Amino acid sequence: MQMLQDKVAVITGGAKGIGFAIAENFVAQGAKVVLADINADHAQESASKLGGKGTALGVACDVTDPDAVQAAIEAATGEFGSLDVMVNNAGITRDATMRKMTLDDFEAVLDVHVKGAWLGTRAAAAVMREQGSGSIVNISSISGKVGMIGQTNYSAAKAGIVGLTKAAAKEVAHLGVRVNAVQPGLIRTDMTAALREDVWNAKLKEIPMQRAGEPEEVANVVLFLASDMSSYMTGCVLEITGGRHI
Ligand code: NAP
């Protein structure tokens, strides 16, 4: 028996990085997935790598747009018949110290992470409450726990996702819907490939396990939260950091 046999999942930002690793993991465990990403071509290319029609569908979705988020959910219910798992993963960074950060940088990051996760949680919960079951997993960051220099926008957004997760978990627990979050640390993706070498090395020094994490290591924890293995967990925030900032 696979962990997500015949389950249907939507993964925002699923075309690459952590989102794609989550999708790959879900498909390996029997799920059908919708990759909802800002770039339609990337979403469709990634969906075909996962088997394409019948297994994975790539759709254009800007998570800051309520209609696009709703359309991604409807793509799952329309194409695959239900929505069992929602992963609010899409993310961006616009790092700068407050002296240099523009209001646009601040608002863009808050919009994608907080508004995006809220829209995804709200739209998914509306379907899941009707079917009496479902698991929503929000991707926060260790930056939201400890706060990081140059990330007043991102740390605020990722902390906001924790509050959103806990409040939503309380609202929908009695309807059979669980809402949890994860806080990855330094994970090897395009997002962190942009870091300067000295910044990367300084972060590495903070990690008791002395290495960065791989997207698959985040995907495994998300799989646990998505599946019935975590059936008595809601409102939880799991750290995936190699021991950093514990
Ligand atoms: P990534 O490789 O940059 O992938 C993010 C994906 O989200 C990309 O496909 C991106 O598309 C897409 N995206 C961006 N804005 C979007 C929007 N408005 N609507 C829909 N999709 C959008 O990043 P990642 O490292 O996998 O990060 C995934 C999540 O994990 C993010 O929430 C990030 O904050 C979080 N996280 C990452 C790390 C890490 O170390 N990597 C640590 C903690 C938390 P484009 O590339 O076309 O813009």
3-state DSSP assignment of residue 8: strand
The response to whether residue 242 sits with its C-beta less than 6 Å from ligand 1 reads: no
Query: To test the ligand 1 pocket, which listed residue (39, 64, 67, 92) has its Cβ within 8 A of the most ligand atoms?
Result: 92
Ligand 1 close to Cβ of residue 198 (< 6 A):
no
Residue 65, ligand 1, Cβ within 6 A? no
Residue having the nearest C-alpha atom to atom 7 of ligand 1: 13
Query: What are the tens digits of pLDDT across the range 176-214?
Result: 999 999 999 999 999 999 899 999 999 999 999 999 999
The residue among 110, 137, 107 whose CA lies nearest residue 234 is 137
Do residues 88 and 136 touch, judged by C-beta distance below 8 A? yes
**DSSP-assigned letters across all residues of 156-216:** HHHHHHHHHHHHHHHHHGGGTEEEEEEEE-SB-SHHHHTS-HHHHHHHHHT-TT-SPBPHH
What would the pLDDT profile of 122-148 be if each residue is shown by its tens digit? 999 999 999 999 999 999 999 999 999
Q: Are 134 and 128 in contact (CB under 8 A)?
A: yes
12-50 pLDDT, tens digit each: 999 999 999 999 999 999 999 999 999 999 999 999 999
Q: How confident is the model at residue 244 (pLDDT cuts 50, 70, 90)?
A: very high
Which atom, in ligand 1's list, is nearest to the CA of 93? 34
* Calculated CA dihedral for residues 108, 109, 112, 117, nearest 10 degrees: -140
For residue 114, give the DSSP letter: I
Q: What is the pLDDT of residue 1?
A: 85
Which CATH number describes the domain made up of 8-188+215-238?
3.40.50.720
- Could you tell me if the CB of 11 is within 6 A of ligand 1? no
- Catalytic residue IDs: 154
Confidence at residue 83, expressed as pLDDT on a 0 to 100 scale: 98
- Could you state, in order of their start, the residue ranges of all structural domains in the chain? 8-188+215-238
Percent of the chain with pLDDT over 70: 100
